[in-house]
Copies of this chain bind each other. A is one copy, B any other.
Amino acid sequence: MRITGDQALVKKLNKSIVLDTIRRKGPLSRTDVSEKTGLNKATVSNLTLELIEQNLVEETGLGESSGGRKPLMLLFNGSAGCVIGVELSVTRVKAILTDLKGTILQEHVLPLGQLDEDAVFEVIGKVIQPLIDAAPQTTHGIVGIGIGVPGMVDESGLILYAPNLNWEGVDLKSRIEEKYNVPVVIDNEANAGAAGEREYGAGRHVRHLVYVSAGMGIGSGMIIDGQLYKGAWGYAGETGHMSIESDGRLCSCGNQGCWELYASERAYSYTSLPALTTAERVEQAKVGDASTLEMYEEIGRRLGIGVTNLVNGFNPQKIVVGGPLTEAKAWIEPKMLATIAKRALPYHRRELSISFSELGSRSAVLGAAHLAVAQFLGRVRVSV
């Protein structure tokens, strides 16, 4: 049974168009909104009224006139509610409290000891609670919690498999929803990062975006036509296990020559250098250690090779590279860009833009927060 059309749908659609337009392009007058959206002025007036009643939009005062009555400018009111964004990694739980515009109001981090479900659940609670307590009094209160996790998440939010946590089939969503009585969205860390960069970072206004998160492994979040692509069962984006060397290194996944063995922190263990963290390696790079520089150059090259594969296959508008590895950006970037420039198909490359994360280590938390905002604001989309 699919979504059918009725007046309620029409109104929901138009209302979400009006809100979205004001949110992205405001301040605008009602007439501006009408012109930009194609909706009738009367319709915009009605819907705006409701949005103002919901406190999601506010009139900020008079704008400039071009010869008649001055327009009343409308602005999205990000302060009408709050959300919490959580990033769950293997070592720690990071959470932020933001308003509906993504302004970070408060941040809180705790280390993670044991990784069993109950222990993690408890830590999440300890990280979140202070944020909930600190949330300002707003019209809608805390409207949702978004969580990014290092693993595969299906469409319903069930964590199917998180190898690094040793989790399989964990329904964190329901547990948190029950405890806090607030809608919860759970997604993969890379998907959350992609959402974050697309909404608040390097991918603003981009419709087709691939976010590559390089850390202990590589994962990708793909935004297609403005929407996260999750594949048939929610496991899309495991590009770290794309083979770029048919008979290359053996990976724990069973495949050979996986991209992440050459282009993530996992590549460290294949060098003769003692396995260090990225922070330590970066120190070595800063003092000009030759073998470290060489290693980062090779990582850059391999990153470029993998990104080229994504570019040729996907034809995205933009590639954003993020994740812990990007601390070493300075030593990785030149070779990566050169490799892509040399290898990617000319037409694909022509209008492609490549950049590094703008939100740094906050891509995923901000993205998780945004997923919750997006669910609250409720976007309707139609294609003909």
Contact = CB atoms under 8 A, between A and B. Distances in A.
Contacts of A347: 152, 160-161, 233, 235
Interface size class of A (residues with CB under 8 A): 35 or more
A7 interface: yes
Given A236-B315, A244-B243, A343-B254, A380 B380 contact: no
Given A14-B4, A345-B235, A313 B152 contact: no
Interface string A333-346: 00000000011111
Contact of A312 (B234, B242, B348): B242
A3 to B, nearest CB: 5
A255 B384 CA distance: 37
A270 to B, nearest CB: 14
A226 to B, nearest CB: 11
Interface in A1-23: 1-7, 9-14, 17
Contacts of A312: 238-239, 241-242, 255
A172 interface: no
A256 interface: yes
Nearest to A18: B4
A253 interface: yes
A365 B342 CA distance: 35
Contact of A305 (B10, B246, B316, B345): B246
A39 B255 CA distance: 48
A378 B245 CA distance: 44
Interface in A242-261: 242-246, 253-257
A175 interface: no
A376 interface: no
Contacts of A11: 5
A231 interface: yes
A313 B255 contact: no
Contact of A253 (B161, B207, B302, B345): B345
A344 B251 CA distance: 11
B4 A7 contact: no
Contacts of A246: 244-245, 262, 302, 305
A348 B245 CA distance: 20
Given A4-B14, A38-B1, A235 B315 contact: yes
A32 to B, nearest CB: 12
Interface string A304-316: 0100111011111
Contact of A255 (B3, B37, B229, B343): B343
Contacts of A148: none
Contacts of A257: 244
A382 interface: yes
A208 B232 contact: yes
Interface in A319-363: 342-348, 351
11 contacts: A4-B17, A207-B232, A233-B317, A233-B347, A235-B315, A237-B315, A239-B313, A255-B308, A255-B343, A255-B345, A313-B313
Interface of A: 1-7, 9-14, 17, 36-39, 152, 160-161, 207-208, 220, 224, 227, 229-239, 241-246, 253-257, 262, 302, 305, 308-310, 312-317, 342-348, 351, 378-384
Given A232-B316, A233-B317, A233-B347, 19 more contacts: A3-B382, A4-B37, A4-B38, A5-B9, A5-B10, A6-B10, A7-B10, A12-B384, A227-B383, A230-B315, A232-B315, A238-B348, A242-B312, A243-B244, A243-B309, A255-B343, A309-B309, A381-B383, A381-B384
